[in-house]
A and B are shown apart, each in its own frame.
Chain A
Amino acid sequence: MSTDESPVVIRVEDVHKVFGDLHVLTGCDLTVRSGEVAVLVGPSGSGKSTLLRCINQLEEPTAGRVLIEDVVQGYAPDPLPDGRWQKLSAAQIAAQRSRIGMVFQRFHLFPHLTALGNVMEAPVQVRGLPKAAAETKARALLERVGLADRADHYPSELSGGQQQRVAIARALAMDPELMLFDEPTSALDPELVSEVLAVLKDLAADGMTMVVVTHEMGFAREVADQVVFMDEGRILEQGAPEQVIDNPRSERLQGFLASVL
């Protein structure tokens, strides 16, 4: 849980994203404080995933900027004399990304590596952690997501829920400052959703700063500090769950809630 005095971890300022003729994000502002759980909801195509992907630079904002712990993402801190912004190199961007964990809708585990190998990969390859230390850490993380006994299984030998939990452990292995979840339960069979949500709740209770795109309104109500409703590329309503979910002001949100609840 965070308070208004907690330091700001994510600051999204007037972000626009244009794909060809498509204006996917039309000026989004979002502030997430340390230890806070922000849940993004909205109809498909509303720009939730794009906004999330702008936070860890999988998408480059067309306008506006994203700051993580007050550091501009993707550009040098100060503009050049002519007013342009100096883009960071690929290696510098990779370093910024390595501090942000991300979990995908379709897991994207590395199929040629075991569960343990998936979790060890980035600490060894990016941080240069010795293999033995990385393995100890990876086993502890797999234990945490309840998969200690699946460490030597390949992703194809795991259920969807198990794969997603390995993906969460893989992201946690980099000791991220914050975690992004892009519809983490949307590709799962209904009976497997709860095991993944349980891990998310556990993380939230531990004080992880999280941004979660989801359609699970029960989860939003229970865990979110702020619920953000997006529609047609802009944020229409945001606030505490009881305010946004239980007392929607806009007709758009009322209609959306009626369709998902």
Chain B
Amino acid sequence: MNRKQTILLLMYIVPPVVAGCQRVEELGPVATATSVNSIRAAFASDAGGSGASTAAVATGTGWATIRGRFVFDGTPPEMQPYSANKDQATCTVGGKSPLQETLLVDSATQGVANVAIYIRKAPRVHESAEPNEDKVVFDQKVCVFLTHVFPLTIGQTISIKNSDNVGHNTNIDGKNGFNQTIPAGEAVDFKPQKEEAVPVGVVCSIHPWMRAYFLPRANGYYAVTGPDGSFEIANVPAGDELEFQVWHESAGGRGGPLVLSTAEAKQLKWNKKGRFKIKLAENEEKELDIAVPAAAFGG
């Protein structure tokens, strides 16, 4: 075999033969026949379950309050401006784009804003947290959604408002799909029907830098931290173990469950899904001061 033949062989024949069978698309598991048969038999059987295993069972009585603050530990990042490249007359102020809100830390108190904290499954719901039909306003101005993380209770109607003089469209991801044009200076109503486990994205396709988050929940046991990082959830069930979900847009650097491994978080058994459990006594007013290291935001 001369040199040329060998090179040809190496170039054209060997790679396909070697690579041929390792098709990269074929990732992930394939169902195993024996398991499939037994699971299928289980689906065909009539044996009924209790149907309530994941719903928390209430044993406690009375109510309690949980409040606290998320405090940034480290040097807060500086927010960069949005790149508003459309409708600049409206979407910029004095030629400057508004600043992003991916991680807002209050300079005075080091409080972390826009942390969503909510009870995953409530064993009981106080009347003050029950679904209501109050109307809530979700506004946009200077091509920025004015509420960055927007929780609401199923049953409420959102008035999606446009306070700009250009048109927007509000495109809500998740189970309550919504994508409708919102005319300049007008508002459009929307009533979400389904609960989400974590906040879902809200964008505007006309101005794709615009971003906010929606969190529709079945009851009012939720809070989003204010500019000083504080939150309060009142009238939560006492005497039962409550599991809280904590979420931030920039958690882990890419958004999602806020995972903490500080000593106080360990006490709360904070897990990798950004959840912790707590049991409150009747009329207890629990204060949580939660330090959030820069590393929790991938920083």
Specify whether A and B are partners: no
Q: Which residues of B contact A (CB under 8 A)?
A: none
